[in-house]
Amino acid sequence: MTQKRQTKPVEERTIVSFDYAIKNVLRDRANFDILEGFLSELLERDVSILGILESESNRDDKDGKTNRVDLKAKMGSGEIVIFELQFLGQADFFGRALYGASKAIVEQISAGDDYNIKKVYSINIAYFDLNTEREYLFHADMQDFKGVHYDERIPFAQYDALKPPTPGEYIHPEYYLILPNKFDEQIKSLFDEWMHILKHSSIKSNFRARGTKKAGIKLDVLKMTKQERAAYEKFLINRQSLDSSFRTTRSDALAEGEARGMAKGLKEGQAKGLKEGQAKGLKEGQAKGLKKGQAKGLLQAAKAMKTEGIDVKTIAKVTGLATGRIRQL
């Protein structure tokens, strides 16, 4: 009688969130293998990390109270990769991505140098709604100039007429946009295992993607010391507090703006004529009232964050208010 082969149950362990790992763990050379695994599965080729590049844009903030964390690394091929994680929706999200990639290009050249540009990969992970329906992984690149009239192409690369460019010789930045909250839990590729990690901060024992086994060992919450766990819990509390404050402010500003806009629009509409005035006045009133209400709400949020001890520069980034105005609060 043949015995049925027993399958080993799939276990799942909790690990630190990816934003905390990037800010506090993955900068350590001993943990580069985790970052290498993530990038290897995303870019679908073997990636090695030479080191972390520091600049004004990616230095640590005290207590981890900023909602935007950056990591800038140099790969073995000389290419540069930038990570940006964003938990709160911001209108200038894509502007930040473009600025970060552009800055990484400009920083490669000193006065008098040749324009020997190494490729930049911009990895943007957004934990807020960008009005997508199903997709959770987006990719944008520009590898060729395309002929307008004829099907001819010129590679956007360090030019050598004698041979076609290799992937590392293409110099236009590539952008990846990752939306963990849109992940549908269906593991269709090895990188989808990393999507599960980004969404749930947990790893299953049957994961096979590069770097996941190492992440399960080195980022395990249960293996933290008391001091490490306390620091991690404080980081999560600060992030949650900032998120709650910002969402409440936006909601209040929207409600106040709509109420004022409707009242003003109705009043102006009645004066100009019921049909024409209601349509025009309501539209103008809503716009003006919403703008004024949002401005008031942002001031309230800035006051709350200042009371919490958040630094002026971070408040300015989150609210868009001038630093001088914040200091006057």
Where among 188, 208, 223 does a domain terminate?
223
Give the containing element (helix H, strand E) for 186: none
Query: What distance, in Å, lies between the first and last C-alpha atoms of the chain?
Result: 81
Per-residue pLDDT, 116: 84
Whether residue 199 is contained in a domain is answered as yes
Whether residue 264 is contained in a domain is answered as yes
Whether residue 3 is contained in a domain is answered as no
- For residues 162 and 266, membership in a common domain is answered with no
- For residues 255 and 213, membership in a common domain is answered with no
- For residues 54 and 198, membership in a common domain is answered with yes
Where among 197, 223, 249 does a domain terminate?
223
- Higher pLDDT, residue 40 or 287: 40
Cα(114)–Cα(128) distance, rounded to whole angstroms?
Answer: 40
- Higher pLDDT, residue 297 or 263: 297
- For residues 172 and 31, membership in a common domain is answered with yes
Whether residue 6 is contained in a domain is answered as no
Cα(291)–Cα(326) distance, rounded to whole angstroms?
Answer: 19
Cα(180)–Cα(200) distance, rounded to whole angstroms?
Answer: 9
Confidence tier at 300 by pLDDT (50, 70, 90): confident
Confidence tier at 328 by pLDDT (50, 70, 90): confident
Confidence tier at 140 by pLDDT (50, 70, 90): very high
- Which residue's entry shows tokens 């909602």? 67
Q: Which residues of 187-217 are buried (b: 16+ CB within 10 A; e: fewer)?
A: beebbbbbbbbbbbbebbeebebbbbbbbbe
Per-residue pLDDT, 269: 52
Residues 288, 261: contact at Cβ < 8 Å? yes
Tokens of 242: 């900032």
Strands of 28-99, DSSP E:
49-52, 68-75, 80-86
Query: Is residue 245 over pLDDT 80?
Result: no
Query: Is residue 56 over pLDDT 50?
Result: no
Query: Is residue 162 over pLDDT 90?
Result: no
Residue range 257-296, pLDDT digits in tens: 555 655 565 566 556 655 665 566 556 655 665 566 566 6
What is the DSSP track for 261-287?
Answer: HHHHHHHHHHHH-HHHHHHHHHHHHHH
What predicted TM-score, i.e. pTM, was given to this entire model?
Answer: 0.69
Whether residue 287 is contained in a domain is answered as yes
- For residues 205 and 237, membership in a common domain is answered with no
Average pLDDT over residues 100-109: 90
- For residues 82 and 33, membership in a common domain is answered with yes
Tokens of 130: 């960008």
Residues 265, 285: contact at Cβ < 8 Å? yes
Per-residue pLDDT, 273: 54
- For residues 279 and 302, membership in a common domain is answered with yes
- Higher pLDDT, residue 58 or 5: 5
Query: Is residue 99 over pLDDT 80?
Result: yes
Whether residue 1 is contained in a domain is answered as no
- Across 193-202, 234-243, 314-323, least confident range: 314-323
Cα 112–Cα 113–Cα 115 angle in degrees, nearest 5: 125
Per-residue pLDDT, 308: 66
Per-residue pLDDT, 229: 87
Residues 108, 72: contact at Cβ < 8 Å? no
- For residues 117 and 165, membership in a common domain is answered with yes
Instruction: Give the number of domains in the chain.
Output: 2
Confidence tier at 69 by pLDDT (50, 70, 90): very low
- Which residue's entry shows tokens 């969402």? 247
Which residue segment(s) compose the domain that 292 sits in?
A: 227-328
- For residues 247 and 189, membership in a common domain is answered with no
Residue range 179-214, pLDDT digits in tens: 999 999 999 999 999 999 999 999 999 999 999 999
Per-residue pLDDT, 265: 54
- Higher pLDDT, residue 244 or 59: 244
Torsion of CA 250, 251, 252, 257, to 10 degrees: 80
Tokens of 12: 């799942």
- For residues 56 and 146, membership in a common domain is answered with yes
Burial class of 8 by CB neighbour count within 10 A (0 to 12, 13 to 18, 19+): exposed
Mean pLDDT (the chain) is 80
Per-residue pLDDT, 186: 94
Confidence tier at 253 by pLDDT (50, 70, 90): low
Where among 223, 250, 273 does a domain terminate?
223
Residue range 212-221, pLDDT digits in tens: 999 999 999 9
Where do the H-state alpha helices sit in 202-319?
212-218, 226-272, 274-307, 312-319
Confidence tier at 312 by pLDDT (50, 70, 90): confident
Whether residue 324 is contained in a domain is answered as yes
- For residues 67 and 215, membership in a common domain is answered with yes
Query: Is residue 60 over pLDDT 70?
Result: no
Whether residue 7 is contained in a domain is answered as no
Cα(222)–Cα(200) distance, rounded to whole angstroms?
Answer: 16
